[in-house]
Structure 1
Amino acid sequence: VLDRVGIPDARRRARSRPHEFSGGMRQRALIAMALACAPDLLIADEPTTALDVTVQAQILDLLHTLRAETGMGLLLVTHDVGVAAESVDEVLVMRHGAAVEHGPVGTVLGTPAQEYTRELLAAVPRVDEGRGDPARPDAALADVARAGAVRGEAADAEAPDGDAPGAVASGTGVSGAVVSGGVSGPGAPGVGSSGPGASGGGPRVPAEVVLEAAGLSRVFGRGKRALLAVDDVSLTVRRGETLGIVGESGSGKTTLGRMLVGLLPPTAGEIRYAGRPHTGVDPAVQMVFQDPVSSLNPRRSVGESIADPLRARGRDEEYIRGRVRDLLERVGLEGAHYDRYPHEFSGGQRQRVGIARALAADPRVIVCDEPVSALDVTTQAQVVALLGELQRELGLALVFVAHDLAVVRRVSDRVAVMRRGRVVESGPADEVYDSPQDPYTKQLLAAVPALDPETAARRRAARREPATA
């Protein structure tokens, strides 16, 4: 079964431990485990969550091939509408535990009959929509950014912490999807033109450079085991600008982000803040981490976590509590949430806490490492809209590290594409997306799920050709 799911050298790798596999390989192993009993039905619960677009495409292609070869049925549970469009014959849309709409995938996604389904589709970021597209109103995004977390996110958004993605073996030959999102009211928006980096579509006057990296490299290990994770990367970030960094898992995105913040020292190269060379952590550059569960101490209240940068500056307790309450309200939570613990919040709300903690240091630059990777599309929209609102109010520069190319295009002024530690292509976001020059960039864009089932089928066939060559 390991060989069937595409794990190379399966006989030897069967003895490997999970930590020796990449995220995509671990997901393949889970599918193999489910296939071992030759099931008539495979239930795949968010099998591609937090995987980059190329690995996601590989997993979806694998499920499609297995279904065609074995005749088993597939029940796919996902919050990613594009994944459903690529993989299934029928769709069931759910909200608050009830079925909202059910039918053939082309009908439901092409001409939805229910308002909630239309709202869910409207919230999906599309890779062919640039930052300046007037697809969604600025006011609606701002309203969601301020109120979405408190109003409905806890009920509608992510599953509890225990509901991890996976694949479980349970008509044959038919696939269906259960799709659910977090739309909490009429007109809930997607990632629109008021997100980070939005400027109404007009050209920007060049602002001051607040962060600069020159020739950054980072090596892990020594000798034959040495791994060059980042290789001679140079970039600049200006005040009020959003720089998107995209690439597959293992391309060096997170390592680069951690060096920019000062959490990792570069093996070579230099980082400059406001024109001055700097090493170590600087309060002017903060980070919003990918996983708000592991980045918040479960034994401390969220207020105490946000207060850490203020205590490091020697502020008195009265000032700290007042400032933390202000920050909680600014990110769409309540000041009274100071004494609550991380497990009392939804995933989107915890991400807001992480943003508040980054703001506590009064930064000029925030590095966002996959800040919306495991959130449903409407919660993504709320978090990204919040970042955009804060950026406009405070003049922040953002470095937005993500593998979701559609989200990155909607939020970014400029984009850098990374592969194997190097930047293979960079430039204005619309130019990189509309006219990619590097073959790797074209490959990434071709792997983005399409909402149209016919387009998805053509892309799957095109991906299969180089795979067998």
Structure 2
Amino acid sequence: MTANPTTSGPLLAIRDLRIGFGARTQVHIGELDVRAGEIVGLAGESGAGKSLTGLSVLGLSQRSGATVTGSITLDGVELVGAPEARLRRLRGGTMALIPQNPSSAFNPVLRVGTTVRRALRLHGDSRATARRRAVEAVTKVRLEEQHLERYPHQLSGGQLQRVAIALGLALGARLLIADEPTSALDVTVQDEICGLLRSLRDDEGVSALFVSHDLAVLGSTCDRIAVMRDGRILEDRPAVDLVTAPHHDYTRELLAAVPRLRGGSDA
């Protein structure tokens, strides 16, 4: 797999990030970067702090009562302590969440295309422009225009995940926060979604922070993988190096739990 990171600074830069509840610090990350055109995996068991880190990038962890300190910059813009209005603009533009359960992203009584077009209209598009951009986005995720006119229950889990990704692309997202985006899908569809993320990286220059407990999925998709345990990063290395010669015993344990790393195939 070949990333195309720029030679300038990282698109996403995390420095001395601390996320806590009350007096207890749940996450402390000294440094983590995602460059343009790079997929970075965040691996670890349940409770390691992976999803909490992703939510903090989106400015959403505070809604659950978390205290966030340190620095998270997106394309040079500081997110920690940023006004909610700024975070909303960034969530609807520069970055987007790809959820674990894609059906949760869509109103069950609306056609999925209506949801996508409404989001675009809220960000200033005319009706005609919103329709055109919605069609362009689903084409990029290898769906047909007709899929936009279906209700969520009429689409498979993999198709819904593609529409969720299309929504982020339509809004112009350069960074996808993918929170266990394949865990609810069967193995074949997992490979299709991973192949799609690789294609978007290579063809569109889209970056992703890919949160998952599954090192098989991360190893076949990511350029780099950071392994988390108890809220801290134990090692952060190129994916191929990490899965073939891990430095930390905990990483070896995670790899030992995987029967074999599935080879990726484009969707």
- Decide: shared fold, TM above 0.5: yes
Aligned equivalent of 1:271: 72
Alignment partner of 1:251 is 2:61: no
Structure 1 match to 2:146: 336
1:304 aligns with 2:114: yes
Contact residue 325 and residue 336 of structure 1 kept, 8 A: no
Larger Rg: 1
The residue identity in structure 1 corresponding to 2:39 is T
Indicate conservation of the 8 Å contact 2:56/2:68, yes or no.
no
| Correspondence for 1:315 among 111, 114, 125 | 125
Deviation track 1:413-459 (CA, whole Å, cap 9, x = no partner) reads 111001111111111112222222222111111111359xxxxxxxx
Q: Which residue of 2 aligns with 1:199?
A: 2
Q: Distance in 2 between matches of 1:207 and 1:377?
A: 36
Inter-partner Cα distance in structure 2 for 1:310 and 1:208: 29
Question: What is the rounded CA distance, in whole Å, between the counterparts of 1:204 and 1:236 in structure 2?
Answer: 11
* Equivalent-residue separation in structure 1 for 2:8 and 2:204 (angstroms): 14
Following superposition, the deviation at residue 372 of structure 1 comes to 1.0
Q: Deviations over 1:372-431 (max 9, x none)?
A: 112222211211111121222211111111111111011111110011111111111122
One-letter code aligned to 2:35: R
Contact 1:254–1:369 (CA under 8 A) maintained in structure 2 = yes
Map 1:139-288 → 2, pairs under 5 A: 198-199=1-2, 206=7, 208-220=9-21, 222=22, 227-265=24-62, 267-278=68-79, 279=82, 280-281=87-88, 282=90, 283-288=93-98
The TM-score with structure 2 as length reference comes to 0.86
The letter of the residue matching 2:152 is P
Deviation string, structure 1 residues 82-109 (Cα, Å, up to 9, x no partner): xxxxxxxxxxxxxxxxxxxxxxxxxxxx
Superposed CA RMSD: 2.1
Q: Give the Å deviation of 1:349.
A: 0.6
> Does 2:217 match 1:416?
no
Kept in 2: contact 1:211–1:272 (CA 8 A) = yes
Q: Identify if the C-alpha distance between structure 1 residues 449 and 227 changes in structure 2 by more than 3 Å, giving closer, same or farther.
A: farther
1:263 maps to amino acid: L
Q: Give the conservation status (yes or no) of the 8 Å contact 2:195–2:221.
A: no
Question: Are the counterparts in 1 of residues 37 and 201 from structure 2 also a CA contact under 8 Å?
Answer: yes
Provide the C-alpha distance between the structure 2 equivalents of 1:295 and 1:407, rounded to a whole number of angstroms: 23
TM-score after normalising by structure 1: 0.50
The structure-2 alpha-carbon separation of the partners of 1:238 and 1:205, relative to structure 1 and needing over 3 Å to count, comes to: closer
AA matched with 1:408: L
Residues 444 and 335 (structure 1), Cα distance of their counterparts in 2 relative to 1, 3 Å cut: same
Identity percentage of aligned residues: 39
- Partner AA of 2:141 in structure 1: V
What is the deviation of 1:263?
2.2
CA change 1:255–1:361 in 2 (3 A) is same
Q: Which amino acid aligns with 1:353?
A: V
Q: Following the alignment from structure 2 to structure 1, what is the Cα–Cα distance between the partners of residues 184 and 214?
A: 11
Q: Which runs of 4+ in 1 moved over 3 A?
A: 203-208
Question: Structure 2: any 5+ residue segments left out of the alignment?
Answer: 262-267
C-alpha separation in 2, matches of 1:298 and 1:255: 27
5+ residue gaps, structure 1: 1-197, 452-469
Secondary structure at the aligned position of 1:209 is classed as coil
Equivalent residue letter for 1:228: T
Contact 2:180 2:210 survives alignment (8 Å): yes
Query: Relative contact order, CA 8 A, sep 6+: which one is greater?
Result: 2
**Structure 1 233/344 Cα, relative in aligned 2: closer, same or farther at 3 Å?**
farther
